[in-house]
A and B are shown apart, each in its own frame.
Chain A
Amino acid sequence: EDKVVQSPLSLVVHEGDTVTLNCSYEVTNFRSLLWYKQEKKAPTFLFMLTSSGIEKKSGRLSSILDKKELSSILNITATQTGDSAIYLCAVLRGTTNFGNEKLTFGTGTRLTIIP
């Protein structure tokens, strides 16, 4: 069974701090790893990572994949109250045969930024 484990489960930091969120996985036929941000309602897409060691960056957020360690980290620098959310990691596995893909989500890290 595919597993996606995120840590920590929750994190409370002060505005301006830097945080690192972790995601580890066990899946067969790994294809890519995705990060989503969920505020009050719908998850919204942040990054998709396919290649190991290549950092993806968007403003204060960055993420990198380590296929050898079967893990990924999401960094947020100079945190703001608007970064408060649940951060979800998801792993896509499957072969090139259509219908074989499956996206498995972790339970998320709840991040709270205190002003």
Chain B
Amino acid sequence: DAGVIQSPRHEVTEMGQEVTLRCKPISGHNSLFWYRQTMMRGLELLIYFNNNVPIDDSGMPEDRFSAKMPNASFSTLKIQPSEPRDSAVYFCASSFGRGTAGELFFGEGSRLTVL
């Protein structure tokens, strides 16, 4: 079982550039979550999808952030334009079942550094 796959593992970019993070959930899981982790704020939920439909995007910081899930096996999180305060580790997680009621399986994260 491949687990949740995220890419890139590391991204270093300059302020103002567009960043796209990618996620492939575990096959058969129907809920997908994007989290951001920083030392100061810990793990924060940005958005979650169920059956490819966004259910709760209240954690998306601002309009610079957008997420899509065009099919059951792929999701993207885009930041445009990026800012230094966006530097963090971005985790994608998936679960089987409705919403967040079940155990989450996390990917290994994408570490973003915005200079």
A interface residues (Cβ-Cβ under 8 A, vs B): 31-32, 34, 41-45, 48, 88, 90, 92, 94, 98-99, 101-108
Q: Once bound together, how far apart are the Cα atoms of A7 and B103, in whole Å?
A: 23
Q: Once bound together, how far apart are the Cα atoms of A65 and B20, in whole Å?
A: 39
| Contact B103–A99 (Cβ < 8 Å) | no
On whether A92 and B45 interact (CB within 8 A), knowing A42-B107, A102-B56, the answer reads no
Q: Once bound together, how far apart are the Cα atoms of A53 and B79, in whole Å?
A: 44
Assess whether B25 is interfacial by the CB under 8 Å rule: no
| Contact B99–A108 (Cβ < 8 Å) | no
Q: Once bound together, how far apart are the Cα atoms of A103 and B104, in whole Å?
A: 10
| Contact A103–B45 (Cβ < 8 Å) | yes
Residues of A within 8 A of B103 (CB): 34, 45, 48
Q: A42-B109, A102-B45 are in contact. List 16 more A-B contacts (CB 8 A).
A: A43-B106, A44-B106, A45-B104, A88-B43, A92-B100, A99-B99, A101-B101, A102-B56, A103-B45, A103-B104, A104-B45, A105-B35, A105-B42, A105-B43, A105-B44, A107-B42
B interface residues (Cβ-Cβ under 8 A, vs A): 4, 35, 41-45, 50, 55-56, 91, 98-101, 103-109
Q: Once bound together, how far apart are the Cα atoms of A104 and B97, in whole Å?
A: 18
| Closest residue of B by beta carbon distance from A108 | B42
| Closest residue of A by beta carbon distance from B55 | A99
Residues of A within 8 A of B35 (CB): 105
On whether A98 and B42 interact (CB within 8 A), knowing A42-B107, A45-B103, A48-B103, the answer reads no
From B44, B55, B106, contact of A42 by CB (8 A): B106
What are 14 A-B pairs with beta-carbon distances under 8 A? A41-B108, A42-B107, A42-B108, A90-B43, A94-B99, A98-B50, A99-B50, A99-B56, A99-B99, A101-B101, A103-B104, A106-B42, A107-B41, A107-B42
Residues of B within 8 A of A102 (CB): 45, 56, 100
| Contact B99–A98 (Cβ < 8 Å) | yes
Residues of B within 8 A of A32 (CB): 101
Residues of B within 8 A of A101 (CB): 99-101
B105: min CB distance to chain A, Å: 8
Query: Which of B100, B103, B106, B107 has the most A CB atoms < 10 Å from its CB?
Result: B100
